[in-house]
Structure 1
């Protein structure tokens, strides 16, 4: 995809928001829901099953703290519908003494940095309006010279008609509106920037991917500030905290260690001769943040929600979306007790 010529008119700046997202005092009940990937029907079934929304989709959780673990988007068609409901629930829960925390996942960061590999066609369609086709044509004409030059740099023999047809194919209706909304000053982009990457609620730490030894010496506020800053800048550099395999949005090393997978390669702590084991790294994070358990998404498990033997690491990504057809689950934490729950998947056909 020719990003350079699709996006030149989408230049944004944003006021930085970086909440630590710590609920004080510890709530009586916490509900954590894993990666949703555009499946609104699954999300609705889970939210109702957990008692945090009523039949009309309004907040019914009272003082419950709901944590959505990130990766609302991509792979399914109804991401925007889920996002809009989470936005509304954040307001409604606050007025009822509860809280809704929506974590930043790696797929939210990908959408903000224009990595659209996993965007479902239905996600673009959700952003269309009656002016979308005319808007796309206007943008093409405004950037025609640059677009033609870009295509001909790859194939000098391309005609103007062929170039326009290729660009239209690579720019489906709704894509331009989608990326405008996902810009730092767009409706969705501002919301994502204002959400935390890591949240401490009571004696539990919530993060989409995981906290590696590389970031385990930072405070919650510093991690969230770094993520928000990178999102605001749409930072595409590999070393950025939002792209780093050892960073909080991508790291799987608290779950597994796989040779060749940079997101599972544990960094060597300063002054150490070798990486920590999984158990040692979990203990490091627990001690640094003063918590009893770490709750993550990102690494799917078709078995449902699972924990390590000591109950210090809980995995909530149960492949909820119909893109994976896993189990519909949520994790409930009441006092010192963490319990996984499963609800029935609503009837529906797999997506194309």
Structure 2
């Protein structure tokens, strides 16, 4: 696939959001002076087949349930940070999607929801992608989300779980949901937490983990690790940032790019740059497809 032959369509929808304030270190353990906020569930899978389901309920109570084996058709309810019951989710098999799709009759594209649940859900409802109960009603059409669910807002998990749920519902209807990795996915999972709301680091601290560790072996973490960074739909190429001349000069094929970004997703900046000039290091520079503020012609 020749990148230059593709039209690069990057639809960026700027959603209303707030940056988190800067906090210093608390002198006392955070869990001793602050109540946890609604969050989760984080489904952590172990190598022995067991699972740990971690969430925080509306009363700020930490719920940490262990399963010796993952129940068949495991389902759970998702709640917003405001305490609204949103929708049920059933976990399903996850694998990397094909990098190239046939163009559907309609394609709804958005980007950068940044944990703003009300805006994200409202856009999908207005576009008749989902109904009032957050179910897929877009038929055989396609939804493309070009990254950046993490950071700035307080409803990271509801948005990811809705995308995860809609992916299966769309497939059952003959449609398609595509989520692409954005720079804020690479930031947060690489332990750059500058724009992460305090509720998330507070939960991780309470569990004795870093925030990326909470995702590392989770169901959503595995799902994110198998998402593409570049996707072709018909004659259109979708990418979070853009394709630089330096990128094009390296003559990558799309599947290779997607694999390299996935390989580095949970690495820190230092680890990604351990081998300067390597393909892995290059993908996470300002010339790579995740960070470039521009596009090739």
TM-score w.r.t. the length of structure 1 is: 0.52
Indicate whether 1:224 and 2:243 are aligned: no
The CA distance in 2 between the partners of 1:219 and 1:21, in whole Å, is 10
TM-score w.r.t. the length of structure 2 is: 0.61
Aligned to 1:203: 235
Indicate whether 1:181 and 2:258 are aligned: no
Secondary structure, in 3 states, of the residue corresponding to 2:100?
Answer: coil
The CA distance in 1 between the partners of 2:95 and 2:252, in whole Å, is 18
Secondary structure, in 3 states, of the residue corresponding to 1:182?
Answer: helix
Deviations 1:144-185 (A, max 9, x none): xxxxxxxxxxxxxxxxxxxxxxxxxxxxxxxx37433322x2
The 4+ residue runs of structure 1 with deviation greater than 4 A are 232-235
The CA distance in 2 between the partners of 1:59 and 1:124, in whole Å, is 32
Q: CA deviation at 1:241?
A: 4.0
Q: CA deviation at 1:232?
A: 5.0
The one of 175, 179, 186 equivalent to 1:109 is: 186
Aligned to 1:81: 158
Q: Which runs of 5+ in 2 are unaligned?
A: 1-23, 26-43, 48-93
Secondary structure, in 3 states, of the residue corresponding to 2:158?
Answer: helix
Task: Tell me the matched-pair count.
Answer: 200
Q: CA deviation at 1:20?
A: 4.0
Q: CA deviation at 1:70?
A: 0.3
The CA distance in 2 between the partners of 1:244 and 1:200, in whole Å, is 22
User: What is the alpha-carbon root mean square deviation over aligned residues?
Assistant: 2.8
Alignment of 1:302-321 (within 5 A): none
The one of 12, 18, 22 equivalent to 2:100 is: 22
The CA distance in 1 between the partners of 2:201 and 2:153, in whole Å, is 11
Aligned to 1:91: 168
Aligned to 1:245: 286
The CA distance in 2 between the partners of 1:122 and 1:75, in whole Å, is 11
The CA distance in 2 between the partners of 1:55 and 1:227, in whole Å, is 35
The CA distance in 1 between the partners of 2:199 and 2:166, in whole Å, is 23
Q: Bigger radius of gyration, 1 or 2?
A: 1
Deviations 1:183-217 (A, max 9, x none): 2x222321111110000011111000111122222
Secondary structure, in 3 states, of the residue corresponding to 1:58?
Answer: coil
Aligned to 1:32: 109
Secondary structure, in 3 states, of the residue corresponding to 1:101?
Answer: strand
Secondary structure, in 3 states, of the residue corresponding to 1:48?
Answer: helix
